[in-house]
Amino acid sequence: MTAPTITSANAVFTLRVPGLYDSPVTIEAFGTDAAVQSADHNPVQVQMSIDGHLSGGFTPTPTVLTITLAADSPSRKTFEDWDQYQKTIREALPGEALFDLPSIGRRMTGTRGFLTQARTHPNANQVLQAGTFQITFESFTGSNI
């Protein structure tokens, strides 16, 4: 058996938005130096008493993913459709995601994710720029592939 690598070139991100995209859609043509980034979260709140005793408590926190797509990515339409459909129905529509990382044998599963930030128009510089979309998930958990 060969040792795992750290390549992300074979990663696969799929998105399903029930009511809009009932079957998973494969997201493709990511940005040059960025594809999928996860924001840090703070699962524990701590307090230090005046006599030096540290107490901590678990607090549920969402996971925020930022997906960066090239200006000419065909997958931009998926996110633009999601954004537009929510505007049309005037309702928040949650989605689900799978992020497979074969190089390290891991699958990340996102549940109940909301499109919380969208750049639906690429910035125009000398050439069109990559744009980002953020999904905030209730749960984003890892498992072995």
Of the candidate ranges 29-43, 90-104, 108-122, 126-140, the one whose mean pLDDT is the lowest? 29-43
Question: Which residues 6+ apart lie within 8 Å of 60 measured at CB?
Answer: 43
Q: For residues 105 and 122, give the distance between their C-alpha atoms in angstroms, rounded to a whole number.
A: 33
Which tens digits make up the pLDDT trace of 106-140? 999 999 999 999 998 889 999 999 999 999 999 99
Confidence of residue 2 (pLDDT cuts 50, 70, 90): low
Q: 12-144: what CATH class? A: mainly beta
CA distances from 106 to 30, 99, 100, 115, 121 (A): 20, 8, 6, 24, 32
Of the candidate ranges 16-25, 33-42, 132-141, the one whose mean pLDDT is the lowest? 33-42
**What are the boundaries of each domain within the chain?**
12-144
Using the predicted structure, report yes or no on whether residue 56 has a pLDDT greater than 80.
yes
Using the predicted structure, report yes or no on whether residue 1 has a pLDDT greater than 60.
no
User: Quick one: pLDDT at residue 121?
Assistant: 86
